[in-house]
Amino acid sequence: MKKNVGHPIDKAIRIVIGIVLLSLIFILQGDIRWVGLIGIIPIVTAAVGWCPGWAVLGINTCKTK
């Protein structure tokens, strides 16, 4: 797996979006609140440094080669 997420702003945005989505678990009522678990995906992609979406689109924000 070649890293394609490396820019600090890209990682920060992914983490913030992930936290916001995870917070839906505590804000929403009923079964719809579990949609917030989708927030795990951007947090993991920021931590690992690889995003399958960026790979498909050919986008690379990582400075190293």
Task: Look at residue 30 and tell me if it is in a domain.
Answer: yes
Query: What is residue 65's predicted lDDT score, i.e. its pLDDT?
Result: 56
Residue 33 domain-assigned (yes or no)? yes
Please report whether residue 6 resides in a domain.
Answer: no
Residue 64 — very low, low, confident or very high, per pLDDT cuts 50/70/90? low
Provide the residue type at 29 as one letter: Q
Digit-coded pLDDT (tens) for 22-40: 999 999 999 999 999 999 9
Predicted model pTM: 0.85
Tell me what pLDDT residue 62 has: 85
User: Into how many domains does the chain fold?
Assistant: 1
Whole domain around residue 31: which residue ranges?
13-49
State the DSSP string of 1-63: -------HHHHHHHHHHHHHHHHHHHHS-SGGGGGGGGGHHHHHHHHHS--HHHHHHT----S
C-alpha separations of 57 from 23, 24, 28, 43 in Å: 29, 28, 33, 19
Q: Which two tokens stand for residue 22?
A: 């995870």
Arithmetic mean of pLDDT, 9-33: 96
Please indicate, yes or no, if residue 39 is contained in any of the structural domains. Answer: yes
Look at residue 21 and tell me if it is in a domain. Answer: yes
